[in-house]
């Protein structure tokens, strides 16, 4: 597979490994292990497995390797390690690199489980974590010191869609010899330039746009080969967070269409955000690629798209929000994102329910806020449905 092919071509063919049958569609190698011709072969493989030589599915598997190579091609990464879920990827990327006494700096607006790792688990292991407002470059400059080992942030925050400047934060981190690890779910692999902009490791929940059809959990860590096949693989293969071959096959098939799906979803999200702006029953419409977004210029440079999710704030708080959700005919009420089906979420009472009120307020998670993950439905149908539900 030539490196010069465009992403859409690479997503159909990248990473393909054919068996002796020369099948067209990728095979699912549902096997935990592999047979060695001789005892000498077994010994040799345990000393040093060659390319495409496998030992045990927790360490690697042909279907999983196809997925890793294909997503690495989309992200322009040297290598990738596939994981059982997005959280296995976040946990693996962070835990494989820190020791007691290390210092980590993270943005405060984080997915709940990411926050749990940084706020609860890491301090228990003797890692010092400082949280900053990810939008405030002075806060990063003050918090990151020569003792800092890792800088971690979500490039677009959930659910209020704040956009963090990857290049600027990476510059601060690298000036202090810290590694930059980003959770890039909301940017999607299609619109990501994260590695070119300075990220050392990029993490995705593949559950979101990579599957894109709500079928299975998965995740992936991408970056330089020496890191992925060094500390990351060693940590992941011994702690059990590897992706199953069946999941890898679902994700491989997801990658074949990810370019088409995500671009169509983002185009509809842009359309809906523009049409809904200024609606009399809304106090806010948040979409990264809208001129009203505080980081509009950065979004143009960093992604060239606003992604597949927008948020609205409904006048009338929780009651009006619930009425809106209950009236929707097309979008389902759920909490995934990046799916072919549009999904509406009321973060204050679901995904962010447990946050104390002052933190909800600080993050802009009001009673009227709805997160809307745009699916593949017709954009005019979605608009009509949303307008009808808004009353």
Q: Kindly list the residues in this chain that would bind ligand PLP in the complex (CB under 6 A).
A: 85-87, 90, 111, 113-114, 154, 158, 183, 185, 205, 207-208, 217, 219
Percentage helix, strand, coil, to 5, in the chain? 40, 15, 40
Distance CA 103, CA 148 (A): 5
Closest CB to ligand PLP among residues 207, 308: 207
132 phi and psi angles, rounded to 5 deg: -130, 160
Q: Please, how many CA atoms are within 13 Å of residue 137, restricted to the half-sphere of its CB?
A: 9
* Residue 346, SS3 per DSSP: coil
What residues contact 205, with CB distance under 8 A and at least 6 apart?
85, 86, 87, 89, 183, 185, 217, 218, 219
- Nearest distance from C-beta of residue 114 to ligand PLP, angstroms: 6
Residue 151: strand, helix, or coil: strand
Q: Which is nearer to ligand PLP, 166 or 389 (CB)?
A: 166
Q: CB nearer to ligand PLP: give 374 or 390.
A: 374
CB of 180 to ligand PLP, least distance (A): 16
Angle between helices 379-390 and 317-327 (to 10 degrees): 140
Smallest separation, CB 217 to ligand PLP (Å): 5
Q: Which is nearer to ligand PLP, 286 or 390 (CB)?
A: 286
**Rounded Cα distance, 208 and 201, in Å:** 18
Which of residues 342 and 379 has its CB atom nearest to ligand PLP in the complex? 342
Closest CB 207 distance from ligand PLP, rounded Å: 4
- Largest Cα separation within the chain, whole Å, is 75
In the complex, the smallest distance separating the C-beta of residue 183 from ligand PLP, rounded to whole angstroms, is 5
Question: Vertex 231, ends 225 and 234: CA angle to 5°?
Answer: 105
- Residue with smaller CB distance to ligand PLP, 268 or 373: 373
10 Å CB burial of residue 126 (0-12, 13-18, 19+) is exposed
CB of 209 to ligand PLP, least distance (A): 10
- Exposure of 205 by Cβ count < 10 A (0-12 exposed, 13-18 middle, 19+ buried)? buried
Whichever of 372 and 389 has its CB closer to ligand PLP, that residue is 372
Minimum CB–partner distance for residue 110 and ligand PLP (Å): 8
Of the two residues 10 and 108, which places its CB atom closer to ligand PLP in the complex?
A: 108
Q: For helices 245-276 and 379-390, what crossing angle results, to 10°?
A: 60
Q: Which is nearer to ligand PLP, 87 or 105 (CB)?
A: 87
Query: Smallest distance from the beta carbon of 81 to ligand PLP, in angstroms?
Result: 15
CA angle 267, 192, 372 (to 5 degrees): 40
- The SS3 call for residue 22 is coil
Least Å from the CB of residue 100 to ligand PLP: 25
Helix (H) or strand (E) holding 372: strand 369-373
Nearest residue (CB) to ligand PLP, 369 versus 389: 369
The least CB distance from residue 153 to ligand PLP, in Å, is 10
Residue nearest to ligand PLP (CB): 86
Q: Cα(138)–Cα(115) distance, rounded to whole angstroms?
A: 22
Residues in a beta bridge with 130 = 105
């Amino acid at each position: 597979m030539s490196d010069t092919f465009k992403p859409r071509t690479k997503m159909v063919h990248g990473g393909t490994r054919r068996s002796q049958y020369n099948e067209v569609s990728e095979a699912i190698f549902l096997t935990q292990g592999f047979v060695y011709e001789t005892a000498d072969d077994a010994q040799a493989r345990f000393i040093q497995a060659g390319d495409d030589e496998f030992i045990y599915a927790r360490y690697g598997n042909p279907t999983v390797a196809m997925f890793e190579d294909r997503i690495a091609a989309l992200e322009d990464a040297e290598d990738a390690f596939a994981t059982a879920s997005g959280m296995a990827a976040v946990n693996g990327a962070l835990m494989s690199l820190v020791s007691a006494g290390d210092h980590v700096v993270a943005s405060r607006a984080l997915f709940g489980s990411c926050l749990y790792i940084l706020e609860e688990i890491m301090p228990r292991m003797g890692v010092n974590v400082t949280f900053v407002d990810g939008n405030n470059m002075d806060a990063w400059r003050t918090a990151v010191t020569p003792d800092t080992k890792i800088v971690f942030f979500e490039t677009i925050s959930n659910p209020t869609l704040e956009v963090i400047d990857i290049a600027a934060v990476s510059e601060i981190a690298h000036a202090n010899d810290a590694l930059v690890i980003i959770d890039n779910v909301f940017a999607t692999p299609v619109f990501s330039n994260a590695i070119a902009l300075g990220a050392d490791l990029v993490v995705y929940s593949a559950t979101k746009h990579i599957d894109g059809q709500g079928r299975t959990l998965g995740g992936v860590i991408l970056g330089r080969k020496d890191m992925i096949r060094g500390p990351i693989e060693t940590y992941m293969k011994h702690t059990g967070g590897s992706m199953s071959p069946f999941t890898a096959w679902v994700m491989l098939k997801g990658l074949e269409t990810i370019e088409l799906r995500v671009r169509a979803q983002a185009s509809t999200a842009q359309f809906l955000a523009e049409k809904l702006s200024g609606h009399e029953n809304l106090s806010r419409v948040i979409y990264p690629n809208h001129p009203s977004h505080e980081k509009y210029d950065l979004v143009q440079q960093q992604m060239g798209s606003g992604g597949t999710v927008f948020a609205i704030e409904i006048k009338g708080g929780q009651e009006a929000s619930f009425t809106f959700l209950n009236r929707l005919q097309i979008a389902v009420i759920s909490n995934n994102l990046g799916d072919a089906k549009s999904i509406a979420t009321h973060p204050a009472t679901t995904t962010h329910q447990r946050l104390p009120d002052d933190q909800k307020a600080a993050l802009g998670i009001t009673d009227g806020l709805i997160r809307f993950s745009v699916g593949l439905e017709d954009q005019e149908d979605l608009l009509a449905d949303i307008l009808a539900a808004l009353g």
